[in-house]
Chains A and B, each alone.
Chain A
Amino acid sequence: MTYLLMGYSVIFALIAGYMMILGKRQKQIEKEIKQLEEWNQEI
């Protein structure tokens, strides 16, 4: 039972970790878009 729990913890942790990385990338892009819009207004 311990190994089963360990196995599924690893599975969900890694999948969730990758999804978080994608989420972080998306947020970074949102930030950059805002910055671009500010630059555009200044020009």
Chain B
Amino acid sequence: MIKINNSGPIDRVLFYILVPAFLINLYLIFVWSPVEKVMGDVQKIFYFHVGSAWVAFLAFCVVGFYSVLTLIKPKMERFIYAGISAEIGVLFTTLALLTGMIWGRASWNTWWTWEPRLITTLILWFIYVAYLFVRKMEGSWEKIAKLSSVFGIIGVINVPIVFMATRWWNTKLHPVVFGEGKDQTGGGMEPEMLATMFFSIFTITVLYVFLLRKGAQIEKMREVIKKAKTNIINKIAS
């Protein structure tokens, strides 16, 4: 008998942290944090926008980490974690891009502009979409794991470039949030806004860990089933 319920105590703890954290986060965003004077209500997109971008970076760093390990010694578990992390990374990069576009439309009066941060983020998104397609290729999983790991490592090199884009190319269009000014604090935000932003980052990070574990458990289960099916087929054949 194979156990279907694959969630352990860590998943339950994550879930019980996640639900209230999400509700508190919404309260902080919509009620507690002040309304920005120039942009008004639309600035409240910022909290999820920054959180999504942060989690996308984290997810791609995890892909990079598992990709390096896979290149050293291919193991199914490493391959699975890299794949699920890439999926979540693409999801949150999509969110960061879309919320950025909506915010840009409201504040810059355009959906898209060819600005360094946006271009590098779009390139990052394309690299990991390509990575996911490579993983779907036919063939032995070791070969695919090695090939996709190369993509994963190329992609993770782009992460610091995306982060530093606004600083290196010094564009004033996209604000620098972390480490601006002499005291290296958040770009002139109210303390309530800063606290809300950090709480959003925390909440979305917990969501990332929860989704990563859940996704990896499902994929591991799929592998167990594949092996069991092969065994049964071999039994019937013999």
Contacts and interface: CB of A to CB of B under 8 A. Distances in A.
A32 B227 CA distance: 12
Interface size bucket, A side? 20 to 34
Contacts of A36: 2, 225, 228-229, 232
Nearest to B222: A29
Interface in A1-43: 1, 3-4, 6-8, 10-11, 14-15, 18-19, 22, 25-26, 29-30, 32-33, 36-37, 39-40, 43
Contacts of A30: 4
B60 to A, nearest CB: 16
B4 A33 contact: yes
Interface residues of B, number: 34
A19 B211 CA distance: 8
B29 to A, nearest CB: 9
Contacts, number: 75
A1 B214 CA distance: 35
Interface string B221-238: 110010011001001100
Contacts of B106: 3
Interface string B39-81: 0011011001100100000000000000000000000000000
B232 A22 contact: no
B2 A39 contact: no
Given A3-B103, A7-B103, A36-B232, A15 B207 contact: yes
Given A1-B41, A3-B45, A3-B102, A22 B1 contact: no
B48 A37 contact: no
B177 interface: no
A18 B95 CA distance: 12
A30 B5 CA distance: 9
Given A33-B2, A39-B232, A18 B91 contact: yes
Contacts of B120: none
A43 B103 CA distance: 60
A11 B95 contact: yes
Contacts of B228: 36
Q: Which 3 A-B pairs have the closest CB atoms?
A: A7-B45, A3-B106, A7-B102
Interface of B: 1-2, 4, 41-42, 44-45, 48-49, 52, 87-88, 91, 94-95, 98-99, 102-103, 105-106, 207, 211, 214-215, 218, 221-222, 225, 228-229, 232, 235-236
17 contacts: A1-B41, A3-B42, A3-B102, A3-B105, A6-B102, A7-B42, A11-B99, A15-B207, A18-B87, A22-B211, A25-B218, A32-B222, A32-B225, A36-B2, A36-B232, A39-B232, A43-B236
